[in-house]
C-alpha cells in the first residue's frame, strides 16, 4: 500500500457513551463528556491546527495554535484543553483566529532552521504542514537576536538523533516518555526562552534513563527526534501492516519502506496489543534480517567435521527426505522426529507438525514452549479447562490489585509493562513475588506495596500460604465458588493445614509471615485483582503445581471472568501461544486435543488421509536420551537453537552428535547448526505471510514486507519434504493453511485471513458463538464447565545448595536482548548489553574475593562457564543471577536436567552453583565444536 498515516484526533478519547452535543462550524457532533473541543471537531472531519497536541498523550495547551471561538465565551480558548459542554457552538475559522495563528507560527519559524528542502523530515514535518495550513507567507523577525540554532546535536543513541536546534519545546516527547512509556527520562529544563528538552539530568540520550522505546521520536512534530534510518535512507513512501516477531505482546507495526528497502517500523495506533506503543526491539532492532551472517542458500555435508557445501533446493530437500526414509528403514518409524518454533507463524508450525504426523508417521513432535510455558498449558487446563490466559491486555486498566509473579515485564514485555505502570500511577496496588528486586518494585512514580522476595524454588509454598490466609480468615468469595466451581471443600481442607500457613512458608521461602498475610489480604479484598506471571513460575520442578495454585487463588476470591482480573501468562516469544495451539506437543493435536481420543484422530485422519498413532510421541528431553541410547537417529529442527536454549548443554551436545541426521532450518548458522548435516535457510518475519498468536490469544496477521530472500517460504519447504517422502502435502498460499486449521480446530473455527483483515485481529475462541473472538475468558462459566480446585502440595526441589555448590543461580532476560540473542545480537542493541553478566550480592562477592567487573567462573554439578561479575543487592545473599543471550557465555552449560513433574519443562530458575575468580580455560567454550565452515 501507499504510506499509511492514521488520523490524529488531537487528544485521547474519553470513555463512556456519547451524551454531549455541540456544533462545530455549524456541524453537530455528539461525544462523551470530557471530550476536548479539538477531538469533537476532528470527529466531524474538521482538523484544527495544532503542534503540541496529539491523541496519544493528554492535552497540554502550550503551542496556542489551536485557538477557537466559542459563542458566549470571551477570548480564544485552546481547543485541546477546553472540554465540550452541551449546546456549545464553536467556530474554528475567522479572520481573528487566522491572524493569531499566523503570529504564533511566525514566532516558531523565527527560531527554526530554514532547511526544509534538505531536512530529513521534509514531507513528514508537522511544523512545515501547519505553516501551510495557517497561511504563513513571511517571517518578519530576523536571526539577529538570541536563538537556539547553535545547539549541538546528540547522536549518541544508535537508532535516533536529537537535534535541539529544531526543537519547538512542545513537550510532546516529554509527555510521551511519561504518560505512554512510563520511564520519565525526559523533562523540560529551564523556563521561558531557556526552555529545552533534557534527557535525565542534562545527559546524552545514551547515558540517560531513556529505554529507546521510540515514543518520543513518534511524538515529535519536527525533525528534532528522528530515526537515523530516515536520515540515511530518506522518507519512506509506502507501508505494510504486520506484527512484531519478538516477545509475546505481539505489537502491530507499519513497516515503512522506500522502494524495497525497509526504512523504519512505526507502531500501529489501532494495534489491539500495543495501541501505538513499542519497545527498542520491535521498533528499531530489525537489522538482523539483512545481516551479512544470514544464510541464503541450502547447504549439506556428510559429517559435522566437514565443511558445508552449497546446493540447490531440490538437492537439499531430496537429501532430507531420502536420509529420513533410510533411517526409518533401519531403525524403525519412531527413530525420527521434529521440533517446531515459537518464532514462526501458526501456518508454518501447523505444517511442521503435520509433516511429522503424516509424513514421518509418528507423534515425535515437540516445541520450544516445552522449555518455557508448558506448565501453563497443563495447569490452566486442569483448573479452567483451556490452556491459555484469561484476559486481554487492556483489562489491566480495570485492575485494582496487580500481582506480578516470576516475571520482569519492564524487560521482558515492555509494552505491556507500560500499560501496567500507567494503571499503577492511577492508584492500583502492586505485589511483586520474585527473588530479585526487579524495576517494578520501585520505579518513577510507582512502588510495590509488597515485594515478597522468596528463595528460588519456594513459589508453591508462598501461593499456598496466601490461600491459607484467604480461607482461614473468611476472605473466600463463597457465592462465586458455590456457583462456578467444584472440589472446593477438599482443597479448603488441604490448604488450612498448618504446613500451608504463612509461618510454615516463612521457614522455606524466607518471606516474613506478616508480609504473606498482608499480601493475601490485599489480593482478596482490594477489588479487581489480576495475576501476571512469567518463566519464574513455569521453569521450576513444580511449575505446573504453581500454575494450579494461582488458579486456585483466583477462583477462591472470584477474580475470574471479567475485566481487571484473571490469571495471565506473559509468553516469552512471539508465537509461543500459537505453536502450542497448533499441536506441537507429542500428546496433543491442534486445539489441545489428546491423540488418544478416537473421535479427534478420526477428524485428522479423514482430512490428512493418513493414520495417526494413538500413543504420544517423544518429548524433547526424551529425544535426547533416546539419541544417546541409539534409538532416535534423526531430527528436524525448525527455527530453534536447542544447543543454546536447552538445559545441560553438554548433554544436548552429546545427543546431537549421536544422531545420523540433524536438519536445521534457520536464518543463521546457530549453535545447533554446528551439529547439523543439512541447513535450510529460513525467512525473517519481514518475509513471512501468516499469523502469530500472542499471550492474550490475539491472532494477528503477519504480512510480507518483501519476497523471501531465499526463494521459498518455510511452509513450502516443509511441504516439499513431505512430498519427497511420499506424502502429498501442498497448499497454494498461507490463507489455505489457515482455512485448514480452522476446519479442524474448534477454537479457530471462525478465523480466516478475510476476517482478520476486516477486524484487525481476533482473540480465540472464535466460532459461531463468538464470531469476533473472545477478549475475556470464562465470563459466564469455565470452559471445562466448573472451575476445578486442585490441592497443590509443596514439594521442595531436589536441586539444593551444598557445601560444594552453596549458591543458587536463577536466570532471566534483559530489555535490549531477546531469547538466545540470535536476532538482537546482530543489531545495534549490543550497545546496551554486549555480554551476559553475573549479578552477585556484595556479601557473596566479598567472601570470595570478587570485585565488580572481575571475570569469574560459574560452576554446577553438570558444567562450568565464565563471565564477568557485577556486584548487586537486587538478589538476596546466596542467590546469583544471569541472562542467557550470548552463546559464548553458555549459561545453560551449568543448568541441570531437573524438570517440571508434569511437563518436563526444565528447572532453569534453580541451579546450585559455586562462583570463584577466573580459571585458565572456559569449559563451556572447550566443549563446543569448532565453528562451522562453508565450502
CA dihedral 342, 343, 349, 353 (to 10 degrees): -50
243 vs 229: CA distance, rounded Å: 20
Q: Using 50, 70 and 90 to split pLDDT, how confident is the model at 143?
A: low
Q: Using 50, 70 and 90 to split pLDDT, how confident is the model at 238?
A: very high
Beta bridge mates, 446: 443
Cell output for 718: 516443509
Cell output for 754: 478475510
Q: Given the C-alpha cell 476472605, which residue does it identify?
A: 475
436 vs 169: CA distance, rounded Å: 39
Across 138-153, average pLDDT: 82
How many Å from the N-terminal Cα to the C-terminal Cα in the chain? 41
* Model confidence pLDDT, tens digit, residues 717-769: 999 999 999 999 999 999 999 999 999 999 999 999 999 999 999 999 999 99
Average pLDDT, the chain: 94
416 vs 858: CA distance, rounded Å: 33
Are 361 and 667 in contact, with CB atoms under 8 Å apart? no
Q: Using 50, 70 and 90 to split pLDDT, how confident is the model at 820?
A: confident
Instruction: Give all strands (DSSP E) within 41-149, no chain letters.
Output: 69-70, 89-91
* Model confidence pLDDT, tens digit, residues 310-335: 999 999 999 999 999 999 999 999 99
Q: Phi and psi at residue 866, in whole multiples of 5°?
A: -135, 145
Closest by Cα among 492, 508, 557, 549 to 530: 557
Beta bridge mates, 70: 90
* Model confidence pLDDT, tens digit, residues 491-515: 999 999 999 999 999 999 999 999 9
Instruction: Give all strands (DSSP E) within 72-219, no chain letters.
Output: 89-91, 160-162, 186-189, 196-199
Are 797 and 901 in contact, with CB atoms under 8 Å apart? no
Q: Given the C-alpha cell 519559524, which residue does it identify?
A: 109
Q: Phi and psi at residue 83, in whole multiples of 5°?
A: -75, 155
Beta bridge mates, 194: none
What is the 3-state secondary structure of 480-496?
HHHHHEECHHHHHHHHC
Q: How open is the CA angle 931-932-935, to the nearest 5 degrees?
A: 135
231 vs 159: CA distance, rounded Å: 11
Closest by Cα among 247, 320, 317 to 280: 247
Percent of the chain with pLDDT over 70: 98
Query: Residue 899 has what pLDDT?
Result: 87
Are 157 and 212 in contact, with CB atoms under 8 Å apart? yes
| Beta-strand relationship, 698-702 and 690-693 | antiparallel
Query: Residue 644 has what pLDDT?
Result: 86
Are 246 and 254 in contact, with CB atoms under 8 Å apart? no
Query: Residue 399 has what pLDDT?
Result: 98
Are 493 and 792 in contact, with CB atoms under 8 Å apart? no
Q: Using 50, 70 and 90 to split pLDDT, how confident is the model at 935?
A: very low
Beta bridge mates, 261: 258
Cell output for 283: 521498533
Q: Is a pLDDT exceeding 70 seen at residue 880?
A: yes
- Secondary structure letter of residue 770 according to DSSP: B
Closest by Cα among 862, 867, 857 to 835: 867
Closest by Cα among 171, 185, 262 to 219: 171
Helix (H, G, I), strand (E, B) or coil at 345: coil
Q: Is 586 left (phi over 0), alpha (psi -120 to 50) or beta?
A: alpha
Q: Using 50, 70 and 90 to split pLDDT, how confident is the model at 430?
A: very high
Query: Residue 57 has what pLDDT?
Result: 96
Amino acid at each position: 500500500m501507499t504510506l499509511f498515516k492514521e488520523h490524529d484526533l488531537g487528544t485521547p478519547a474519553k470513555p463512556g457513551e456519547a451524551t454531549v452535543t455541540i456544533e462545530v462550524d455549524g456541524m453537530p457532533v455528539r461525544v462523551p463528556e470530557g471530550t476536548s473541543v479539538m477531538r469533537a471537531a476532528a470527529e466531524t472531519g474538521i482538523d484544527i491546527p495544532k503542534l503540541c497536541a496529539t491523541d496519544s498523550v493528554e492535552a497540554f495547551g502550550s503551542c496556542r495554535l489551536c485557538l477557537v471561538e466559542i459563542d458566549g465565551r470571551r477570548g480564544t480558548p485552546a481547543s485541546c484543553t477546553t472540554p465540550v459542554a452541551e449546546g456549545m457552538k464553536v467556530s474554528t475559522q475567522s479572520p481573528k483566529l487566522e491572524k493569531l495563528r499566523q503570529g504564533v507560527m511566525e514566532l516558531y519559524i523565527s527560531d527554526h532552521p530554514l532547511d526544509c528542502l534538505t531536512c530529513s523530515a521534509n514531507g513528514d514535518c508537522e511544523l512545515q504542514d501547519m505553516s501551510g495550513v495557517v497561511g504563513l507567507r513571511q517571517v518578519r523577525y530576523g536571526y539577529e537576536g538570541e536563538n537556539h540554532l547553535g545547539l549541538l546535536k546528540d547522536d549518541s543513541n544508535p537508532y535516533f538523533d536529537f537535534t535541539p536546534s529544531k526543537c519547538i519545546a512542545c513537550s510532546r516527547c516529554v509527555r510521551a516518555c511519561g504518560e505512554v512509556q512510563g520511564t520519565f527520562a525526559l523533562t523540560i529544563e529551564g523556563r521561558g526562552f531557556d526552555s529545552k528538552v533534557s534527557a535525565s539530568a542534562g545527559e546524552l540520550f545514551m547515558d540517560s534513563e531513556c529505554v529507546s522505546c521510540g515514543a518520543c521520536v513518534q511524538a515529535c512534530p519536527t525533525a528534532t527526534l528522528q530515526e537515523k534510518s530516515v536520515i540515511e535512507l530518506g522518507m519512506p513512501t509506502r507501508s505494510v501492516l504486520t506484527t512484531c516477531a519478538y516477545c509475546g505482546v505481539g505489537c502491530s507495526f507499519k513497516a515503512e519502506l522506500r522502494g524495497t528497502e525497509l526504512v523504519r517500523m512505526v507502531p500501529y495506533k489501532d494495534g489491539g496489543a500495543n495501541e501505538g506503543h513499542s519497545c527498542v526491539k520491535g521498533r528499531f532492532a530489525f537489522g538482523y534480517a539483512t545481516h551479512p551472517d544470514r544464510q541464503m542458500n541450502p547447504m549439506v555435508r556428510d559429517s559435522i567435521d566437514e565443511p558445508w557445501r552449497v546446493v540447490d533446493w531440490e538437492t537439499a530437500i531430496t537429501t532430507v527426505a531420502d536420509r529420513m526414509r533410510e533411517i526409518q528403514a533401519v531403525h524403525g518409524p519412531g527413530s525420527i522426529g521434529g521440533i517446531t518454533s515459537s518464532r514462526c507463524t501458526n501456518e508454518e508450525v501447523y505444517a511442521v507438525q503435520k509433516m511429522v504426523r503424516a509424513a514421518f508417521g509418528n507423534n515425535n513432535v515437540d516445541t520450544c514452549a516445552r522449555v518455557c510455558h508448558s506448565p501453563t498449558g497443563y495447569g490452566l487446563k486442569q483448573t479452567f479447562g483451556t490452556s491459555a490466559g484469561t484476559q486481554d491486555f487492556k483489562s489491566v486498566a480495570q485492575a485494582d490489585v496487580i500481582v506480578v509473579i516470576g516475571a520482569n515485564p519492564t524487560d521482558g514485555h515492555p509494552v505491556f509493562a507500560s500499560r501496567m505502570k500507567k494503571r499503577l500511577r492511577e492508584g492500583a496496588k502492586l505485589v511483586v513475588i520474585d527473588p530479585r528486586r526487579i524495576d517494578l518494585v520501585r520505579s518513577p512514580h510507582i512502588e510495590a506495596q509488597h515485594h515478597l522476595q522468596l528463595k528460588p524454588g519456594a513459589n508453591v509454598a508462598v501461593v499456598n500460604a496466601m490461600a491459607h490466609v484467604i480461607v482461614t480468615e473468611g476472605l473466600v468469595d463463597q457465592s462465586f465458588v458455590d456457583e462456578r466451581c467444584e472440589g472446593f471443600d477438599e482443597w479448603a481442607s488441604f490448604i488450612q493445614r498448618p504446613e500451608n500457613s504463612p509461618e510454615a512458608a516463612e521457614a522455606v521461602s524466607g518471606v516474613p509471615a506478616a508480609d504473606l498475610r498482608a499480601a493475601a489480604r490485599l489480593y482478596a479484598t482490594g477489588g479487581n485483582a489480576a495475576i501476571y506471571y512469567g518463566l519464574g513460575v513455569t521453569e521450576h520442578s513444580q511449575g505446573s503445581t504453581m500454575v494450579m495454585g494461582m488458579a486456585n487463588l483466583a477462583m477462591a476470591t472470584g477474580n475470574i471472568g471479567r475485566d481487571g482480573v484473571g490469571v495471565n501468562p506473559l509468553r516469552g516469544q512471539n508465537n509461543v501461544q500459537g505453536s502450542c495451539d497448533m499441536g506441537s506437543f507429542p500428546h496433543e493435536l491442534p486445539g489441545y486435543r489428546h491423540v488418544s481420543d478416537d473421535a479427534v484422530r478420526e477428524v485428522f485422519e479423514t482430512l490428512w488421509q493418513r493414520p495417526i498413532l494413538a500413543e504420544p510421541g517423544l518429548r524433547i528431553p526424551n529425544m535426547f536420551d533416546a539419541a544417546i541410547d541409539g534409538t532416535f537417529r534423526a531430527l528436524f529442527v525448525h527455527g530453534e537453537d536447542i544447543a543454546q536454549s536447552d538445559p545441560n548443554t553438554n548433554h544436548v551436545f552429546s545427543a546431537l552428535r549421536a544422531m545420523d541426521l540433524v536438519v536445521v532450518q534457520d536464518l543463521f548458522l546457530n549453535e545447533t547448526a554446528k551439529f547439523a548435516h543439512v541447513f535450510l535457510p529460513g525467512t525473517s518475519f519481514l518475509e513471512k505471510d501468516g499469523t502469530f498468536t500472542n499471550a492474550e490469544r490475539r491472532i494477528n496477521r503477519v504480512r510480507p514486507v518483501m519476497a523471501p530472500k531465499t526463494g521459498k517460504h518455510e511452509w513450502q519447504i516443509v511441504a516439499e519434504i513431505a512430498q519427497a517422502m511420499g506424502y502429498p502435502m501442498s497448499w497454494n498460499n498461507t490463507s489455505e493453511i489457515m482455512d485448514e486449521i480452522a476446519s479442524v480446530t474448534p477454537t479457530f473455527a471462525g478465523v480466516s485471513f478475510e476476517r482478520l483483515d476486516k477486524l484487525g485481529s481476533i482473540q480465540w475462541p472464535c466460532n459461531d458463538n463468538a464470531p469476533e473472538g473472545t477478549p475475556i475468558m470464562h465470563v459466564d462459566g469455565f470452559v471445562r464447565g466448573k472451575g476445578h480446585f486442585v490441592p497443590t502440595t509443596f514439594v521442595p526441589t531436589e536441586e539444593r545448595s551444598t557445601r560444594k555448590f552453596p549458591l543458587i543461580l536463577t536466570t532471566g532476560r534483559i530489555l535490549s536482548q531477546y531469547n538466545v540473542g540470535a536476532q538482537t545480537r546482530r543489531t545495534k542493541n549490543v550497545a546496551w548489553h554486549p555480554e551476559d553478566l553475573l549479578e552477585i550480592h556484595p556479601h557473596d562477592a566479598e567472601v570470595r574475593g570478587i570485585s565488580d567487573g572481575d571475570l569469574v567462573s560459574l560452576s554446577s554439578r553438570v558444567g562450568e562457564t565464565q563471565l564477568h561479575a557485577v556486584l548487586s543487592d537486587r538478589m538476596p545473599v546466596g542467590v546469583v543471577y544471569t541472562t542467557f543471550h550470548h552463546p559464548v557465555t553458555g549459561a545453560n552449560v551449568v543448568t541441570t536436567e531437573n524438570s517440571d513433574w508434569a511437563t518436563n519443562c526444565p528447572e532453569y530458575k534453580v541451579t546450585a552453583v559455586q562462583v570463584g575468580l577466573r580459571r585458565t580455560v572456559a569449559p563451556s567454550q572447550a566443549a563446543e565444536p569448532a565453528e562451522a565452515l562453508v565450502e
